[in-house]
């Protein structure tokens, strides 16, 4: 969650693992729920590359399984800039060891209706660039609070998503780390209507009754991750994440399953 130049490598690896569990349920649709600056070694530029096998759902609220093999590539510079698949492109303004805050550009992946028969007639939600900011605060070597704001998603490009989370990591043995995390996501009406609502026009083509989804809490996610540190550069993570839809999201006709479990296995290499 915080820059590696401020963290010992084992603690950072565990925080990276927890971060992975929190975006796993949506197969990278929530990859940007928090900024995790975990690439550079102390005093220098650096990054992390790897891959993750994710067993999740076709879309949020789906009852159909989906398995993906996805890449991980993130890099950060000592001057505050960072870029990658989990953080987007942004700048960290903080010079304080316990705090990160800044601005960034991310991407909402949208949703294709051909992903599932349940989405037939609803049309595609396009890929959208998002502008936003982030703030992370480390309470101790083991506990960190995270938050982020992203704007620009959905059919009308006015979707707003706010994520608030916390992570905890502990050493079980010299090479083993356990990470625990929880995140809650709030979305405005524009986002909720795009992903969980059904307009009168969509009702005609999809067979669903019209449904208006308003602003509110979208979902709550909790995860646990076990990381094995092969050496100072290589780490392997196995994780399990639980997600529960809330509010108008869980009442949507698209929500076939409110609660879901997702598994992830990943490996990364620091350079």
Q: What are the backbone angles phi and psi of residue 136, rounded to the nearest 5°? A: -125, 145
Nearest to 213 by CA among 159, 150, 165: 159
Tokens of 238: 């196995």
Q: Cα(178)–Cα(93) distance, rounded to whole angstroms?
A: 30
Tokens of 88: 């987007």
Q: How far is CA 32 from CA 19, 106, 229, 247, in A?
A: 10, 7, 24, 22
Q: Which pLDDT score is estimated for 164?
A: 96
Tens digit of pLDDT at every position of the chain (271 positions): 333 334 343 344 434 443 443 333 333 445 678 887 755 554 578 999 999 999 999 999 999 999 989 888 999 999 999 999 889 999 999 988 899 999 999 999 999 999 999 999 999 999 999 999 999 999 998 999 999 999 999 999 999 999 999 999 999 999 999 999 999 999 999 999 999 999 999 999 999 999 999 999 999 999 999 999 999 899 999 999 999 999 999 999 999 999 999 999 999 999 8
Q: Which residues contact 201 (CB under 8 A, 6 or more apart)?
A: none
Name residue 190's beta-bridge partners. Answer: none
Q: Which pLDDT score is estimated for 38?
A: 59
Q: Which pLDDT score is estimated for 43?
A: 55
Q: Which pLDDT score is estimated for 25?
A: 34
Q: Which pLDDT score is estimated for 245?
A: 98
- The CATH number given to whatever domain includes residue 101 is 2.40.160.40
Range of the domain at 216: 4-270
Name the helix (H) or strand (E) containing 250.
helix 247-250
Domain count, the chain: 1
């Amino acid at each position: 969650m915080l820059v590696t130049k401020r963290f010992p490598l084992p603690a950072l690896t565990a925080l990276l693992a927890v971060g992975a569990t929190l975006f796993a349920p949506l197969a990278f649709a929530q990859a940007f729920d928090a900024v995790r600056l975990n690439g550079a070694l102390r005093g220098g530029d650096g990054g992390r590359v790897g891959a993750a096998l994710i067993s999740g759902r076709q879309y949020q609220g789906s009852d159909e399984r989906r398995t993906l093999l996805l890449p991980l590539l993130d890099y950060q510079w000592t001057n505050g800039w960072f870029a990658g698949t989990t953080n987007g492109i942004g700048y960290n303004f903080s010079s304080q060891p316990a705090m990160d805050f800044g601005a960034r550009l991310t991407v909402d992946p949208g949703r294709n209706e051909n992903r599932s028969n349940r989405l037939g007639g609803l049309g595609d939600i396009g890929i959208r660039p998002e502008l936003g900011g982030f703030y992370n605060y480390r309470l101790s070597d083991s506990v960190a609070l995270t938050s982020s704001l992203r704007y620009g998603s959905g059919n009308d490009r006015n979707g707003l998503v706010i994520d608030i989370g916390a992570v905890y990591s502990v050493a079980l043995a010299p090479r083993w780390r356990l990470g625990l995390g929880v995140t809650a996501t709030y979305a405005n009406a524009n986002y909720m209507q795009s992903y969980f609502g059904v307009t009168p026009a969509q009702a005609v083509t999809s067979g669903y009754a019209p449904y208006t989804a308003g602003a509110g809490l979208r979902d709550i996610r909790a995860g646990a991750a076990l990381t094995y540190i092969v050496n100072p550069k290589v780490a392997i993570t196995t994780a399990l994440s639980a997600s529960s839809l809330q509010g108008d999201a869980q009442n949507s006709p698209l929500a076939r399953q409110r609660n879901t479990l997702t598994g992830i296995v990943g490996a990364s290499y620091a350079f």
